[in-house]
Amino acid sequence: MPRPMHELTPREIVEQLDRHIIGQHAAKRAVAVAVRNRWRRQQLKGDLSREVMPRNIIMIGPTGVGKTEIARRLAKLVQAPFLKVEASKFTEVGYHGRDVESMIRDLLELGITMVRREQAEQVQEEALKRAEERLVSLLLGEENTTETTPTNANASAADGLTDSGAMPTAEDLHKKQKEEAAQHERVRQRLLKKLQDGFFDEREIEITVREKQTIPVMGMMGPDQMDPGMTNMLEGLMPDRSRQRRVTVQRAKTILTEQETEKLIDHEKAIEQAIERTEQTGMIFLDEIDKIAGSSDGRGSNADVSRQGVQRDLLPIVEGSSVVTRQGVVHTDQILFIAAGAFHSASVSDLMPELQGRFPIRVELDALTRDDFARILTEPDASLTNQQEALLKTEGLTITFTPGSIAAMAEMAAEANASMENIGARRLMTVIEQVFSEISFDAPDLAKKGTKRIEITDEFVRERLSEIMDDEDLGKFVL
């Protein structure tokens, strides 16, 4: 369960990360301190608070060792807007492609989604109540009439004479209106009870659905690449489209609840809160930052020029600037940037000195060993073995692993990484899939034949993987 940032100490953050990520204690400690420093800065008053800059981090290590997972789990832990981007996909301003400011716009959209989801949870009960009232009106054929329809109808009927032939008095009219209104309300309540009990779930009704029209791509340029003012203008020219849909009552309840939720949410307040949250707690994970570093051999090239341009564009974003978005201006001064790269053919020193200076904390992540693989297979809350057990349990099969089978899979993964491309913990996924390929295919048939339990042993793992490991060409293709 996510907790507010001020409740998490660095030690608790590391303990939470340990539940999902094996090893890499230096990196965990670094990000834990960086997050805690953000809360510490918020406790400062006056000018000093504005002077404290976030301690951006560069993680250095091979692929598959947990760089992305650490940042992703951290953001989820502290309920912060989090965006992962590939540094290599950006191009210098003036060239075709995405400019670096687009990641701030994307981060804000994630923040808005997060805040709206929280507000939606707060109004969920009221929205459902309103949706059910609308459904009752639809079932009674009153959706497009006013709430005073019964009263108006009664008033019209009461224009005539009473049973005795005398003109009705105002008191008589009022009494009759109250009786019919009460009767109508009793009918609505009985219908509402049946609706809540699911009596009408499969009945089809017709509802009005409003849909936002998408902005078309203009000149190979999507909405995210347009000027914010132009995007807003085009949205204003393209009003919502209404159309009739025939759906089941169960589906209509979901659609109408969403519509009522949208009405109850304070959208302006949501945008204000999202901008503040993005500025104060937002995180951007810049993956493959080594791909935009210059060549370490000292020889320049056209590619190096392009990389330098991306670095120059990144620099003001990382050090603090104002980015104009459709919803407002976002200041990037306090956004935490976590960069990562393998740095095989380049080093951190190949980045621009100014950009290097904006990432004061550098952490080197360790390559994973056979023992690490064995722990990854069993210790995390959602380990690969736990996932496989849960998946096959849905077929009625109970899967158990012997200690030898875990050790064999870890050993095979380590050997494959040593003899082929080192892809870190991702190799375990291919190993697991290869071990379970036949069991997963035959699981329904095995359950029908009465098989209840399958034990994965050391011999079974080696039998499934030995042929692939012995054939180097086949191993490169399969593993």
Burial class (CB in 10 A: 0-12, 13-18, 19+), 96: exposed
Amino acid at 474: L
Kindly give, in sequence order, each residue whose CB lies less than 8 Å from that of residue 354, ignoring residues fewer than 6 positions away. 315, 319
Q: Are 98 and 225 in contact (CB under 8 A)?
A: yes
Three-class DSSP labels, the chain: CCCCHHHCCHHHHHHHHHCCCCCCHHHHHHHHHHHHHHHHHHHCCCHHHHHCCCCCEEEECCCCCCHHHHHHHHHHHCCCCEEEEEHHHECCCCCCCECCCHHHHHHHHHHHHHHHHHHHHHCHHHHHHHHHHHHHHHHCCCCCCCCCHHHHHHHHHCCCCCCCCCCCCHHHHHHHHHHHHHHHHHHHHHHHHHHHCCCCCCCEEEEEEEECCCCCCECCECHHHCCHHHHHHHHHHCCCEEEEEEEEHHHHHHHHHHHHHHHHCCHHHHHHHHHHHHHHHCEEEEECHHHHCCCCCCCCCHHHHHHHHHHHHHHHHHHCCEEECCCCEEECCCCEEEEEECCCCCCHHHCCHHHHHCCCEEEECCCCCHHHHHHHHHCCCCCHHHHHHHHHHCCCCEEEECHHHHHHHHHHHHHHHHHCCCCCCHHHHHHHHHHHHHHHHHHHHHHHCCCCEEEECHHHHHHHHHHHHHCHHHHHHHC
Kindly give, in sequence order, each residue whose CB lies less than 8 Å from that of residue 427, ignoring residues fewer than 6 positions away. 64, 373, 413, 416, 417, 479
pLDDT tens per residue across all 479 residues of the chain? 555 556 788 999 999 898 888 888 999 999 999 888 888 888 888 888 888 888 899 999 888 888 888 888 888 888 888 888 888 777 655 454 567 888 899 999 999 999 999 888 888 889 988 888 888 888 887 765 434 444 444 444 445 455 555 666 777 777 777 877 788 778 788 888 888 888 878 888 888 877 766 655 555 455 555 555 556 566 666 667 777 878 888 888 888 888 888 888 888 899 999 999 999 889 899 888 888 886 655 555 555 557 788 888 888 899 888 998 888 899 999 999 999 888 877 888 888 888 888 999 999 888 888 898 999 998 888 888 999 999 999 988 899 999 999 999 998 888 888 887 788 888 888 889 888 888 899 889 988 888 889 899 999 888 888 776 665 554 554 55
- Rounded to whole angstroms, the Cα distance separating 279 from 3 reads 19
Q: For the chain, how many residues are written? A: 479
Question: How many alpha carbons lie under 13 Å from residue 275 in its C-beta half-sphere?
Answer: 15
**Nearest in space to 54 (alpha carbons), one of 322, 276, 359:** 359
- Rounded to whole angstroms, the Cα distance separating 311 from 367 reads 28
Predicted TM-score (pTM) of this structure: 0.74
- Rounded to whole angstroms, the Cα distance separating 425 from 409 reads 12
- Rounded to whole angstroms, the Cα distance separating 115 from 133 reads 27
- Rounded to whole angstroms, the Cα distance separating 18 from 13 reads 9
pLDDT at 274: 92
